[in-house]
Amino acid sequence: MAPTANELYQEGKRHFDSKHYVRAEQCFLKLVRMGSHYADVLNMLGIIYHMEEKFNNAIECFQEALKINPRYTEAVLNLAVLYNDLGKYPQAKALYEGLQQNKKVKNEIDPILKGKIANRHAELGDTYRGVGQYGSAIEEYKKALQLCPNFVDIHTKLGIAYRENNQKELSVKELSQTVKSAPEYLPARIQLGLSYYTQKAVPKALKEWDEVLKRDPKNSAAQMYLGLCQPNGKK
């Protein structure tokens, strides 16, 4: 028996949430062919096409989602991010301004909206990292930080992406600056230790992890990394 529209939707959503995008795309395309036009399905298809660099298809999906639901904020943001990636800045700006509640300031994006857009870029960066496209992930994190340069979690993700892309010196530089600007943000310190470790700068790595434990004695990640480097205990 052929699956129902609801079954295809649920299966596609599970695959999408699990980052199995090829399978998700197959389910969603079957739904569209069946005549089931759901705004969120088209939005998810647009995200998949964006990742696959099928930009025209992605634009069409986001626009179709917005025809169905003109107030679909997520689809607006995703389309704006895509326009921004393609260098279509006037179109992106028009979408940003359309979302702003305060129309008095037209040359500046509302700070709350700016944060949402930055997080969209970061989420796309996470997705690229998850499938090993580190260069694309780095570009998305940079775009996020252009909007919100004080987001230390995204700086940390950028440092990780540099390391995973074998750009170890850039990773150390990015994470060192993050630790300096936000010394209490321990995930950055832990990742800086890992980047030092990949450079075989073990004493520097141990120093960072020791500092984490001074600030948070129960930090399991720092305990684990120190244990791996010093199986017989601390210095």
Residue 96 to residue 100: CA distance in whole angstroms: 7
The model scores a pTM over 0.75 = no
Residue 52 to residue 50: CA distance in whole angstroms: 5
**Mind listing the pLDDT tens digit for each residue in 42-64?**
999 999 999 999 999 999 999 99
Residues 6+ apart with CB under 8 A from 154: 118, 122, 125, 141, 144, 145, 148
The yes-or-no answer to whether 66-146 and 150-235 have a common fold is: yes
Please write down the HEC assignment for all residues of 15-35: HHHCCCHHHHHHHHHHHHHCC
Domain boundaries, the chain: 66-146, 150-235
Domain 150-235 has CATH 1.25.40.10: yes
What tokens were used for 167? Answer: 């750009």
Query: How many CA atoms does the CB half-sphere of 27 hold within 13 Å?
Result: 23
**Mind listing the pLDDT tens digit for each residue in 159-206?**
999 999 999 999 999 999 999 999 999 999 999 999 999 999 999 999
Res. 104 pLDDT band, cuts 50 70 90 = very low
SS3 114: helix
For residue 157, is pLDDT > 70? Answer: yes
Q: Tell me which architecture the domain covering 66-146 has in CATH.
A: Alpha Horseshoe (1.25)
